[in-house]
Amino acid sequence: MGHSVVLDAPFVAYLSDPDYLLTATARAGWPETRIQVIQVTASAAVVKQRLVDRGLDRDRVKLDDWDSYWRRFGALECRWQSGQHHFVVNDDAQALRAVEKLITATGHITTPDEPGSDQPA
């Protein structure tokens, strides 16, 4: 049996590359796997308030020119073509429960030779 891996990062530089996940797994030498992408987004108002609440110096430049920042980063689209994609809007406390449900639902990935396999590994 394999190991579950969770990667948490903005991946801004790679979002426009449709083959990013396949290229990255091949470069790492990982075996073929069933890929699950959980894309978490939030509204401009929520992101801005979270940055204000966080109060970090690194966020000051974003907040000082919020409209430009959000036009650039708020409009980014994930163009990855591989894997099964799930979308969660993280504007309230319900989002964490939605992500937990997705992780639980996709927690066991079967391989082609395991009973119940529904996709190629």
pLDDT tens track for 51-69: 999 999 999 999 999 999 9
Instruction: Specify the DSSP class assigned to residue 83.
Output: S
Mean local confidence (pLDDT), 4-23: 83
β-partners of residue 89 are 41
Collapsing DSSP to helix, strand or coil, 84 comes out as: strand
Mean local confidence (pLDDT), 19-34: 87
What's the pLDDT at 3?
Answer: 61
pTM for the model stands at 0.69
pLDDT band at 32 (very low <50, low <70, confident <90, very high): confident
pLDDT band at 1 (very low <50, low <70, confident <90, very high): low
| Residues contacting residue 104 through CB under 8 Å, at least 6 positions apart | none
Mean local confidence (pLDDT), 62-79: 94
Residue 16: CB atoms within 10 Å: 12
State the Cα–Cα distance between residues 84 and 55, nearest whole angstrom.
35
What's the pLDDT at 119?
Answer: 36
What's the pLDDT at 4?
Answer: 66
Residue 80 Rama label (left phi>0; alpha psi -120 to 50; beta): beta
